[in-house]
Amino acid sequence: SQTIHQWPATLVQPVGSPLSLECTVEGTSNPNLYWYRQAAGRGLQLLFYSVGIGQISSEVPQNLSASRPQDRQFILSSKKLLLSDSGFYLCAWSRGTPNVNEQFFGPGTRLTVL
């Protein structure tokens, strides 16, 4: 069976500090990978997605970047955090089945920027 991990679970960082969130998937190969941000109690905003190693598509221009150094590893980064970067960050994977994009989510990282 497939599992998806995210860490850390929670993070409190000062404004201007760097960020690195990690996501790994087990039990599958060549997944599509996604980073989302969720405001409190609301829908999900897609930040980045990747269909393969080194292939990153950005959905929203902002203070964040993503990288995929290995097939099942997806990293979200920032050089200098802003207050507006606070939120709940979710990683997800999908099999890439044509026309049926079922996504499976990790447990999330709660980021607070002070």
Partner 1 sequence: TQLLEQSPQFLSIQEGENLTVYCNSSSVFSSLQWYRQEPGEGPVLLVTVVTGGEVKKLKRLTFQFGDARKDSSLHITAAQPGDTGLYLCAGGGTGTASKLTFGTGTRLQVTL
Binding region for partner 1 (CB under 8 A): 32, 34, 41-44, 46, 49, 51, 59, 90, 92, 96-108, 110
H helix or E strand, kind and range, residue 113: strand 109-113
Supply the minimum distance, in Å, between the C-beta of residue 11 and partner 1: 14
| Residue with smaller CB distance to partner 1, 48 or 64 | 48
Q: Which of 74, 45, 75 is nearest to 60 (CA)?
A: 45
Supply the minimum distance, in Å, between the C-beta of residue 13 and partner 1: 19
Supply the minimum distance, in Å, between the C-beta of residue 104 and partner 1: 7
Cis bond before residue 8 (omega within 30° of 0)? yes
Report which DSSP code applies to 96: -
